Chain A
Amino acid sequence: MKGHTRGAGTGRISPRMLPVRTSDGKSMQPLKKAPHGPTLLRTILSKSQRVTRKGESTNKAMNRVFAFPLLVLFLFTAGVLLALFLRLSPGEIITALKTEETRFALNLSLMTSIGSTLLALLLGVPTGYFLARTDFPGKVMLDTFLDLPLVIPPLIAGVGLLFLFGQNMLGARLGEWGIHILFTPWGAVLAQTFVACPIVMRSSRAGFERVGPRYEWAAATLGLRPSQVFFQISLPLARQGILAGTVLGWSRAMGEFGATLMVAGAIRFKTETLPIAVFLNISSGELGTALACAWVLTATGFVLLLVLRWIGHVPRPEILPSR
């Protein structure tokens, strides 16, 4: 999805753009507006059509062989999901979904993940813009450094956060001001923000890079102030990357466990996000609540995947100016 840009044909004269004239010399409508906001069904259909078309050009003999690992992978995934869902009857799951604990966990997960995604947007989008538009010595190093949270195991990141906000460092000072982060929902927000930021940053940066600075030049010659240029031109044009980053970052925040465990702890009805709830309830043998929470998480992930597909498919204007 990320690499999906329109090919070399960004020049201004493609055959479909030439004015069409009928025999009586009247100009016809050159072309209909591209259909906006495709339905989910159409999205999925067109995706599958594209895959089929691609498949035609590949090596058929090898593809017959490769169908086997594909089948294994499919069964593997399906097996895991079935194992999760067949353990309890739908009735039992629904009952578990209605328990106070599940509802609390869902609520807390939503609140913290939305909060952390907003924070990640606030930090990640400007950083992404900065990195997309500026060159300076050591940029590669800084860039790599900012990506570190992507590869640090969340558990380790959690330990780091724990120390940073512990009594010996920032925690004491914050405590004086009455701000308590460790072992509160704020800790969960902090942990989720830490993992979501690089995702949002990378994705929006890619969005800004794809548009390039030339539209901003045009806006400047039209008299738009730098802030107007950013909010009215750069941001809307990079919306695809930013949206994709938001969705991905949010799903990471929803599922964040390791760092949250360290920073916010696993405290029933206090810092019990969905993943923490799964962990607590599996530990204490209460399968119902654990699986209900697992269901919610899986379903959320599925919906987010669909949304991502849809974002990749939103008919977007040609944002690559030809050079």
Chain B
Amino acid sequence: MNPMAEITLQNIQNSIIKGISVKIRDGELFVLVGPSGAGKTTLLNMVAGLIPYDGHILVDGDCVDALPSFKRNIGYLFQDLLLFPHMSSKKNILTALKRLGLSRQEKERRVGRMMELFHLAPLADRLPDALSGGEKQRVALARALVSSPDLLLLDEPFSSLDFRTARYLRLNLKRIQSELGTTMLLVTHNLEEAQDLGDRLGAMTGGRLEQVGSIEEIMFQEKSLEGGFLERPNLLSCTYQKSLGNGLVHVRWAEQSLFVPEDGAKSFNKVAIHPRHVYISPYPPPGPQVNRFRGRIREIRHAGGMAYVEVMVEGHQLHAQMTTEQAQALSLSPEDFVYGILKLRALHGC
């Protein structure tokens, strides 16, 4: 049972989507990131066959454009899950097996497997109303996966869950993906989620697929990020010193030492870090003296409830990002001296 499939979108478009072509590989978890209104959900609805489109969708080379939704064998985890409120968890999952015409034992076996995979056995007879947010999510995932679809579409699957549940399910999804090998297309506006999950990433804005690539490629490419949805990371020019052999690499930047997680064995002369992982404060923060710096604020810009602080460290430019409230609480103003930390695990050599 290995429902891998290669999915190809060829110049998909309608009034919202402006021509998207992408190939999703066998057993891959492809993440589409973009702000709300970028047309992510619309694209998923098209792939699922729920709304009309121009262009072609191929599953393992076979065109499915003419097939109505119920013949496509594409699973869909809707943002609002849409568990049938009049059916128990188990019946919800069983519903997805109707089309396959399986024997009763086979149905029971498959549902049992899903229930086990998602730890749903104790919830089998509950109505969706009597489930917590995370439990509902698991039932919906089991329902979408039980018929071994060629492709699973996931629409903002974790956005409505609290942080812990979301993280738990995120890890679970990775486990399940590696266990079942189902090809998945996930959309999210959450960059961190995308980084956590995706094998490859597509950045979408205004109905267009701006970029496709690995997380490293997308996050830390200097070019073409300006004005896009993805915020431009800090790129620090450094000199490679040596690998410490404990998963860390020692580099020099702005006349000080930095420790960067080792990524393979390659040496690098640039380190990327997202502005939200740069912490600054007017006072020396407590804790170990690792990846600290001291600098002077050059400019503070406010946009959309966020403050973007430009700091000069020994003549090197560095951006930090925080909420406007945080900036006010720290009473930061230009020309102030600040102390800062570069979050160790958020540093990427490139």
Contact = CB atoms under 8 A, between A and B. Distances in A.
Q: A and B, one complex?
A: yes
B68 A220 contact: yes
A236 interface: yes
A149 B313 CA distance: 81
B130 A219 contact: no
Interface residues of B, number: 42
Interface in B269-306: none
A240 B144 CA distance: 28
A229 to B, nearest CB: 8
B104 interface: no
Nearest to A13: B133
Best-buried of A17, A18, A32, A233 by chain B (most CB within 10 Å): A17
A226 B133 CA distance: 29
Contacts of A138: none
Interface string B19-59: 00000000000000000000000000100111000000000
A172 interface: no
Best-buried of B50, B126, B162 by chain A (most CB within 10 Å): B50
A215 B85 CA distance: 10
Contact of A30 (B48, B70, B96, B132): B132
A247 B126 CA distance: 30
A267 interface: no
Interface string A105-119: 000000000000000
Contact of B132 (A17, A33, A214): A17
Given A224-B95, A317-B129, A215 B84 contact: yes
Interface in A30-85: 30-34
A298 interface: no
Contact of A223 (B84, B86, B98, B134): B98
Nearest to A20: B132
Contacts of A319: 85
13 contacts: A12-B161, A13-B162, A19-B135, A33-B126, A34-B130, A219-B95, A220-B70, A222-B96, A222-B147, A223-B73, A223-B96, A224-B99, A319-B85
Given A13-B133, A17-B133, A224-B98, 9 more contacts: A13-B161, A19-B134, A214-B82, A220-B69, A223-B70, A223-B96, A317-B85, A317-B127, A318-B85
Chain A to chain B: the 4 pairs with minimum beta-carbon distance, closest first: A317-B85, A223-B99, A218-B82, A220-B69
